[in-house]
Amino acid sequence: QKEVEQDPGPLSVPEGAIVSLNCTYSNSAFQYFMWYRQYSRKGPELLMYTYSSGNKEDGRFTAQVDKSSKYISLFIRDSQPSDSATYLCATGAGGSNYKLTFGKGTLLTVNP
């Protein structure tokens, strides 16, 4: 079983839709959770950074972590064509572990 699983999509939605992106993970030691957005031919850009379970909101973006089910989500409200990108989840165990474990990314297209 891979440590982080993410549906690659592609996911296509109309402008204004609510988008739900999800990842599951297997390592219960993971405590730090991130979402990145990557435009074509660019590096990933950090969107959200959360610790442990719960919700975090930033504008149209909400990150949700459920450690009991090892499930992380990113919700995008009022989606815009500029949200079209690949979204990657990432997790880390903290401590002296300097590495993050990334999902393979979900390709999202928001159609005007």
Partner 1 sequence: SQTIHQWPATLVQPVGSPLSLECTVEGTSNPNLYWYRQAAGRGLQLLFYSVGIGQISSEVPQNLSASRPQDRQFILSSKKLLLSDSGFYLCAWTKQGTGSQPQHFGDGTRLSIL
Residues that bind partner 1 (CB under 8 A): 8, 31-32, 34, 36, 41-46, 49, 51, 88, 90-95, 97-100, 102-105
C-beta separation of 89 from 4 below 8 A: yes
- Whole-number minimum distance, CB 8 to partner 1, in Å? 7
Output phi, psi for 83, to 5 deg. -80, -5
Smallest distance from partner 1 to CB 73, Å: 18
| CA dihedral sign of residues 80, 83, 103, 55 | negative
Of the two residues 79 and 103, which places its CB atom closer to partner 1 in the complex? 103
CB of 23 to partner 1, least distance (A): 12
The SS3 of residue 59 is coil
